[in-house]
Amino acid sequence: MQKIIDLQTKDWSNGISAQANMPIGGYFQSFRGIDPFYNQGLATPSFPEETVTPSTAPLMITNFNTGGVTYIYWHSATELKQTLKDSPYTQVDKTSEVSFVGGFAVNGAIIWKNKYIYARQGSDIRANSLPVASGSDIQIKAGVNSSFDKMAFCVGADGNLYHADNSRVGILTSATGTAGNANTFNIDSDFNVRDLINNGKYLVIIADNNNQLSTDKKIGNYRCRVYFWDMIKTTADIIYDVQDSYMIAGEQIDGNIYFFGYNGLYVCNLATSPKLIRPFTGYNGVSNQLPLHAYQLTQNKGSLYWVNGVSDAVKNGNVFAYGNPTTGLQKIFYNPYSFNGTGLHNIIQVVGEQLWIATAEPKMHIVNTSSGVGTGVIATLNQIMPNPFRYEYTKIVLAVPLSSGQSVTFLAVTGGGGNAVSSSETKSYSATNPKQTLIFRRIAGVNTLQRFEDIRLSITVVGASIVRVTTYATSLDDSSEDL
């Protein structure tokens, strides 16, 4: 009998692999609902979500603080509501205090110069006071592009507010009127600006010449570019071409610009051209989970956070991340939060220590609320063995003994997941014998195979912190025939 798998300490911070059968940029096939940097060195589930039920699906979320209280504005196609950031999440209707005349859908929103700024698709950009008040709503720019479904906003290093508008970048210098607000910079004439990022000196523009609507972008031979513009000249100082079908969204972390294209996640800066960090191909976990537009990507504390932009039940209910809160250490892909969401993920927004995700259900899911008992799901890669083995048992060591409401479920599979090596078993808290070390011996069942040549472990942990996972098996003669 020998040890064939031993996961502990640093292994929990290795991240999610690009492929299921070998470690490429990570050790795990799935690491769902666990932030490896929250309780580093342990596999600890993130706190469960809380939810707010809006009356219509939010398309934009912004937040502001007044009098020491943080509020959320959620803006849908027909409503604006002001919501308390914390429980009981009281909602106050503000719909009559902004403009919905003409049925123009909101396609961008930001807080700037102590004003609530929002854009209406095909109409204009407007400003209101904070808090939003009746009689304070004014137009600050007219004539925005009619077919641009998501308008990215970005406060530049010069303090002005910039916005995407087809192949133009507009500037807003005033939040109280239209004077000085204009289209100030033109990129390539057939391109569409997807996102704007302030790198501290330049306004970084990511764009492509694909279809204007985010939902209409196609795979094919299109042009993609990244521009570094100083917000003064009529041309960009640096322009990088990117070989991809289309661009999606970007953010800055650790002084570098990270952005998504159809092919995957890239990184660049003023001196270094874009490099593809990970191609998003295949079926494994994060490798097919792309955002759709700029409002489905955000950043906080050294990590990018995003949600999948496709309405697909298999891909819903996850917040994905890339980064590391400690500058200079290896960045990883991880899946720190999960939630019970269905339908299209419209937006993700950082609000203090929380992340708010609005979905088309309609629902707003609030993760990292620091309360309750969370659930984490771990799946190792399919480990290919050098010869056949007979499964013996797996030992899971916890940081402390199980307590009320906590449990660990274990399953070992082979044949790429087609057969069980040991059927699923759950060990829960027992008041008479609370355990810290859990032994999972083989449980035979339908379609279980004791002999295996590849193995994958699946662990669901509720509330508890895992220190170590060790699997033992006995090596068998490679020349023997499996009857």
Q: In this predicted structure, what is the pLDDT of residue 89?
A: 96
User: How many CB atoms lie under 10 A from the CB of residue 371?
Assistant: 10
Q: In this predicted structure, what is the pLDDT of residue 288?
A: 79
Average pLDDT, rounded, for the chain: 93
**Residue 178 corresponds to which amino acid?**
T
Percent of the chain with pLDDT over 70: 98
Q: Which residue has the tokens 């706190």?
A: 47
The contacts found for 165-172 with CB under 8 angstroms, 24 or more apart, are 165/193, 166/192, 166/193, 166/212, 167/191, 167/192, 167/193, 167/207, 168/193, 169/193, 169/196, 169/203, 169/205, 169/229, 170/141, 170/144, 171/231, 172/112, 172/117, 172/125, 172/140, 172/141
**Residue 418 corresponds to which amino acid?**
G
**483, pLDDT greater than 60:** no
**480, pLDDT greater than 80:** no
pTM of the predicted structure, to 2 decimals: 0.95
- For 105-123, the pLDDT digits (tens) are 999 999 999 999 999 999 9
- For 268-288, the pLDDT digits (tens) are 999 999 999 999 876 667 877
Among 255, 203, 201, 254, smallest CA distance to 226 is for 203
Is residue 220 within 8 Å of 262, Cβ to Cβ?
Answer: no
Find the distance separating the first CA and the last CA of the chain, reported in whole Å: 22
Percent of the chain with pLDDT over 90: 82
Among 12, 10, 41, smallest CA distance to 380 is for 12
Which residues lie closer than 8 Å to 107 by C-beta, 6 or more apart? 59, 119, 120, 121, 148, 149, 150, 151
**61, pLDDT greater than 90:** yes
Least confidently predicted of 26-40, 220-234, 272-286, 457-471: 272-286
Sheet holding 182-186, edge to edge: 153-155, 161-165, 168-172, 182-186
Q: In this predicted structure, what is the pLDDT of residue 482?
A: 52
**102, pLDDT greater than 80:** yes
In the chain, CATH 2.60.120 sits at 2-45+376-475
Structure tokens at 98: 């902004």
The rounded distance, in Å, linking the Cα atoms of 290 and 65 is 31
In the chain, CATH 2.130.10.10 sits at 50-371
The rounded distance, in Å, linking the Cα atoms of 249 and 152 is 9
Q: What is the mean pLDDT of residues 417-441?
A: 93
**194, pLDDT greater than 60:** yes
CATH number of 2-45+376-475: 3.40.1000, 3.40.190, 2.60.120, 1.10.3470?
Answer: 2.60.120
- For 356-367, the pLDDT digits (tens) are 999 999 999 999
Is residue 225 within 8 Å of 240, Cβ to Cβ?
Answer: yes
Report cis status (omega within 30 of 0) of the bond before 362. Answer: yes
> 50-371 has which CATH code?
2.130.10.10
Name 409's bridge partners.
426, 460
* Angle at the Cα of 333 from the Cα atoms of 464 and 335, rounded to 5 degrees: 40
